[in-house]
Amino acid sequence: MSVDLTIENGVAEVVLNRPAKMNAFDDAMVAEMNARLAAAATGPVRALLIRGEGPGFSAGRDLAGAEPGKEDAETILKTVFNPVIQTIADFPAPTFAAVHGPCLGAGLGIALACDVVYVADDAKIGSPFARIGAVLDSGSHLFLVERLGSHLALELIYTTRFLSGTEAAQLGLVNRAFPLASLVAETRKLAGQVAQGPTAAFMESRRIVRRIRDEQLGLSEVLAAEAKAQGVAGRTADYREGITAFQEKRTPKFTGK
């Protein structure tokens, strides 16, 4: 298998495991990725972690079988890669990526579609598409512009310059950079902590954050969205547990419901 899945203590860990090809996605690997994500989404999962085996996170699409001039690149994106990015963005639990080595193309889109991205100091993040006469894809125009601004996004696209993990964290493209040896452990630690939290409430916050980004909500609209979300949260078992635990001066035990 080129994509593995384990579920432990509420954390689903999806591992890209095609290291000989730098975890580049061919059709079979995309199918496995979809299957693992579907299994995680329907399992006892309260957080998702995506990482790669071998020397890098993912080099994107495996171009070994590409047929330039013959293939329909638009259809490939719409039917093969875009659904994977959307599935990760819409995953029904907090999502985390642990990125090391090259993180390019569809691999970059997969990583940046996650809620939180931790990287190794020496990760290589960027857009090499100009080298092959192609356009950056997999949602990365949005991710780069949103986090870096249009000027830096276009500089990276035009020059194909790679950011190190340290630089990507300093610029705000990703959350934090760690030494490679501690990257996975730190990401697992965070995912495990979040999985024990009020994950239903977290999903309400994610929806508000996405609406602020996508709909450019003003203050009055955000206040209304927060009030509605608080009403939803107030009907959950976690809300009752959290308030009761606070009143009783004890640590709450959340279930995500």
User: Is 151's pLDDT higher than 90?
Assistant: yes
Is residue 69 predicted with pLDDT exceeding 90? no
pLDDT on residue 65: 80
Q: Model-level pTM greater than 0.85?
A: yes
% of the chain beyond a pLDDT of 90: 95
Check if the beta carbon of residue 57 is closer than 8 Å to that of residue 14.
no
Nearest to 102 by CA among 62, 161, 146, 162: 162
The answer to whether the beta carbons of residues 155 and 162 sit under 8 Å apart is no
Let me know: does 149 contact 124? Beta carbons within 8 Å.
no
Q: What's the confidence (pLDDT) of residue 1? A: 87
Where do the domains of the chain lie, and which CATH numbers do they carry? 3-195 (3.90.226.10), 199-247 (1.10.12)
pLDDT of residue 108: 97
Nearest one of 72, 57, 162 to 112, comparing CA atoms:
57
Weakest-pLDDT range from 36-40, 64-68, 169-173, 215-219: 64-68
DSSP-assigned states of every residue in 57-76:
SB--B-GGG--TTTS-HHHH
Beta-strand pair 163-164/124-126: antiparallel
Q: What is the pLDDT of residue 99?
A: 98
Phi, psi of 124 (to 5 degrees): -120, 110
- Binned at pLDDT 50, 70 and 90, residue 66 comes out as confident
pLDDT of residue 225: 98
Instruction: Specify whether the backbone of 162 is left (phi greater than 0), alpha (psi in -120 to 50) or beta.
Output: beta
pLDDT of residue 174: 98
Burial of 164 (0-12, 13-18, 19+ CB in 10 A): middle
Q: What is the mean pLDDT of residues 143-152?
A: 97
